């Protein structure tokens, strides 16, 4: 078939393509690592966040996941999973995210639950016992956002201490 006939056929078939196929959410995400520093501005001590790619043991880093739906349909039940970076431990109670449900994993992101439902196996006196998971046991954080409209976005964040 010649190119002209193919183009004409494509124009004829276009009205029969379902709008659902054409309309899709398109999520774009970026992650930023920052630390807080105290600086003097106008004679006053001010705490500011600065981007960083270097850290030292004992420092607390703030990880922010920015998301944007640049598609033309709303995104529904969006799951944003963020493994804790190697060499860091989650700072208890630091995960935030407007209009989201936050859960945690202690098994590398295979399962997620609320903190009070998480357990880990610990060896005590040579025996394996189940114990309630603590913040230092978390390996991954999940935010579930009910919907993100086209053109809308937001951010979620957490803090982790460098080991």
Q: Is the whole-model pTM more than 0.85?
A: no
Structure tokens at 88: 């860091």
Residue with tokens 């709008």: 19
Buried b or exposed e, range 124-148, using 16+ CB within 10 angstroms:
eeeeeeeeebebebbebbbbbbeeb
Q: Going from the N-terminus, what domains does the chain have, and what CATH number goes with each?
A: 25-162 (2.60.40)
Average pLDDT, the chain: 88
Residue with tokens 């999940």: 142
pLDDT of residue 36 exceeding 70: yes
User: The dihedral of CA 157, 159, 162, 163: what is its sign?
Assistant: negative
DSSP-assigned states of every residue in 70-98: -SSS-EEEEEEEEEPPTTEEEPTT--EET
pLDDT of residue 21: 52
pLDDT of residue 6: 36
pLDDT of residue 125: 86
pLDDT of residue 134: 96
Report the DSSP pairing between strands 44-51 and 127-132: unpaired
Give SS3 for 23: coil
pLDDT of residue 5: 40
pLDDT of residue 9: 36
pLDDT of residue 122: 86
pLDDT of residue 153 exceeding 70: yes
Higher-confidence residue of 16 and 43: namely 43
Q: Is the CB of residue 90 less than 8 Å from the CB of residue 136?
A: yes
Q: Name, in order, each residue with C-beta under 8 angstroms of 162's C-beta and a sequence gap of 6 or more.
A: 55, 56, 57, 58, 59, 60, 61, 87, 88
The pLDDT tens digits for 99-149 are: 999 999 999 999 999 999 999 998 888 899 999 999 999 999 999 999 999
- How far apart CA 158 and CA 160 sit, in angstroms, is 7
pLDDT of residue 4: 43
């Amino acid at each position: 078939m010649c190119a002209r006939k193919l183009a004409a056929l494509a124009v004829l078939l276009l009205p029969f393509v379902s709008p659902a196929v054409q309309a899709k959410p398109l999520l774009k995400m970026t992650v930023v690592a920052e630390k807080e520093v105290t600086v003097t501005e106008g004679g006053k001590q001010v705490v500011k966040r600065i981007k960083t790619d270097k850290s030292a043991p004992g420092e607390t880093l703030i990880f922010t996941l920015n998301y944007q739906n640049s598609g033309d349909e709303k995104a529904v039940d969006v799951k944003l999973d963020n493994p804790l970076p190697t060499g860091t431990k989650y700072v208890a109670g630091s995960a935030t995210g407007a209009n989201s449900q936050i859960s945690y994993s202690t098994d590398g992101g295979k399962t997620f639950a609320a903190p009070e439902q998480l357990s880990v196996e610990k060896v005590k006196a040579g025996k394996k016992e189940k114990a309630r998971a603590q913040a230092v046991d978390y390996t991954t954080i999940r935010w579930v956002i009910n919907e993100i409209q086209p053109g809308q976005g937001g951010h979620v964040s957490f803090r982790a201490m460098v080991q």
